[in-house]
Structure 1
Amino acid sequence: MPSVLTALLCLGLCLNQRISTLKQSFSKPVIWAIPNFMIPKGKPVDIWCQGTHEAVEYRLYFEGSLSDLKIPKAPGLMNKVKFLIPSMTSRTAGQYSCLYRSGELWSKLSDPLDLVVTGMYDTPTLSVHPRPEVISGENVTFYCRLETATSKFFLLKEGRPSRTQHRHGNIQAEFPMGPVTTAHRGTYRCFGSYNNHAWSFPSEPLKLLVTGDIGNTSLVPTDPTSSPDSWDSYFLTTEAGFQKDLALWDHTAQNLFRIGLAFLVLVAIAWLLIIDWLSRKRTQEGASRASQWEFRRRLRTQRPIEQ
């Protein structure tokens, strides 16, 4: 019996370790920046890396090389750490990623986070043709111009920083929108840049108003004109979505572990019942043999007396 229980215990521990290994191998950490991915030159930025409560070490990578590492102050209580960049420059702008360690195992790398430093060049001017107020269906083109020679221009819409458009050009770049709908309404800014991570000052905001096509506004998503703080809305929503995915994965792993333990308990109960049944069967068979032997012995002792 002790050997059976020992085997079951080892099986349970192996199952727990296997589930934990799968969880750590497939659960990527989440990385994001606060206040957002565009940081004015000289301003600080916090890079957050979120893993699991079991994480005992976090590492931050910049352009593929180890940049910093953190040990959680309260392991088991906190599932994220903060990496501080005290002053954003062209040298600290680039692509970041992170990973974490739980026990002896390392997680996969997070999705890349591209940090951009702004304010590196002069301020570009943004204009729109034919005019800022157009009727739905008209062709609209944005023009971003920067007198200081540059190689690339970026056009962003407030509240939709994930949909950045870029065009190459020395002094000016065109951003044709084609026939616009009410979904194009909103406030736009543009930047000039020599690379993907060092941008100029932002242009003055330009508000595009699309009128007409009222009957289809319920079918086309609209973007209300928002304040500069709306640049963060996409990243806050994305962060919440990633956190929800991590929580869902943790819940799934815990359920698998509970199912595994329940299965082990059922196996142990079944094994104990089988052992008990076999023990009772042996006892009954032994008693039956003893009874038969005693009956035969009595017969042998009684036969001479009867003669």
Structure 2
Amino acid sequence: MPSTLAALLFLGLSLSQRTGTREHESFLRSPRVWAEKTLSKPVIWAQPSFMIPKGKLVTIWCQGSHEAAEYQLHFEGGLSASKRPKSPGTVNRVNFPIPTMTSQTAGQYRCFYRSGELWSQPSDPLDLVVTGLYDTPTLSVHPRPEVTSGEKVTFHCRLETATSTFFLLKEGSSSRPQRRYGNIQAEFPMGPVSTAHRGAYRCFGSYNKHAWSFPSEPVELRVQGDAGDTSFAPTEHTSSDHWDSCMLTTEAQFQEGPVLRDHNAQNLLRIGLVFLVLVALVWLLVEGWLHRKKPQERASRPSSQECRRFRAQRALEK
């Protein structure tokens, strides 16, 4: 039994080591790490939102690998802050608070992290916007705020201070904001609308993409659907430029990078192998105990021939 147990333990450790070696070799062959000498890019987002009223607190988060030893935040292409995780190996994110949002802190942010001597690729850009710098625009919807599914509507955003850029956002929606250009007014055509377009809308005026006006008063769009209306996705015309998509980096977009996924898979496989070895050890111990118990029971139980001889001897003595 000891030789069998030793063989099982050796097999489990050998498989674990072989698996770890294969994963390590695969990791080294990865073009991102081996050829480019960099790590997978981190994820960046802002809380409570990428749009922050002037003077309010905003926190920028950067999430990388559990092996990250240092994080750097870059603002408009230059180093802004550096931070080390409080518990390396267990925490894979850090935060960079901005106590007071101003036009000087609004702009484009990226973050990096370091593991050993290697630095990661830059995160996707996060465009942080400050609001409440200018007058308040007015928003209206034509032909009316209550329409039937299938109709077309147009939102009109107007700001008298010669704003050149306007943005329209739907409250509570993760869809990207629409952008239009105009002198003092911009139009946002939408439709044919469905019940998915229901909700409150606000617009902003902007002199640049990181400094917006106060938000307009909300305008509620009410869409009356019919029995055959199964549309769920909005069909409004949206800008497809890179800036709009990067602005909407949110916590819902967190995904573990390939390094984290490989690390977790390796740990799970090793735990499984250790569990199998422990099960085999318990089984061998139980089997050995049963084998030892049977001879003891046989030795303690007198044979039938001895019983008959004992009875006969007792009868003769009587």
TM-score by length of 2: 0.67
Q: Pick the aligned partner of 2:227 from 200, 215, 218.
A: 215
Matches within 5 A, 1:1-307: 18=25, 22=30, 25=38, 27-211=40-224, 213-217=225-229, 219-221=230-232, 238-242=250-254, 245-246=255-256, 250-255=260-265
Segments of 5+ residues of structure 2 without an aligned counterpart are 1-17, 235-246, 271-318
Counterpart residue identity of residue 188, structure 1: Y
Query: What is the CA-CA distance between 1:137 and the residue it aligns to?
Result: 2.0
User: Identity rate of aligned residues, in percent?
Assistant: 63
Task: Report Cα offsets for 1:90-121 as digits up to 9, x if no partner.
Answer: 11111111110000111111111111000010
SS in 1 for 2:251: helix
Counterpart residue identity of residue 251, structure 1: R
SS in 1 for 2:212: coil
Q: How far apart in 2 are the matches of 1:222 and 1:215? A: 17
Q: How far apart in 2 are the matches of 1:93 and 1:46? A: 12
Aligned 8 A contact 1:185 1:222 in 2: no
SS in 1 for 2:187: strand
TM-score by length of 1: 0.69
Question: In the alignment, which residue of structure 1 is the partner of 2:8?
Answer: none
Aligned 8 A contact 1:19 1:256 in 2: no
Counterpart residue identity of residue 255, structure 1: A
SS in 2 for 1:255: helix
What is the count of residue pairs matched by the alignment? 241
Query: What is the CA-CA distance between 1:164 and the residue it aligns to?
Result: 0.5
Task: Report Cα offsets for 1:40-99 as digits up to 9, x if no partner.
Answer: 011111000011111000011112211111111221121111111111111111111111
Segments of 5+ residues of structure 1 without an aligned counterpart are 1-10, 224-233, 261-307
Query: What is the CA-CA distance between 1:178 and the residue it aligns to?
Result: 3.4
Query: What is the CA-CA distance between 1:222 and the residue it aligns to?
Result: 6.8
Q: 4+ runs of 1 displaced by more than 6 Å?
A: 11-16, 257-260
Task: Report Cα offsets for 1:240-298 as digits up to 9, x if no partner.
Answer: 442xx3177523345368889xxxxxxxxxxxxxxxxxxxxxxxxxxxxxxxxxxxxxx
Aligned 8 A contact 1:19 1:253 in 2: no
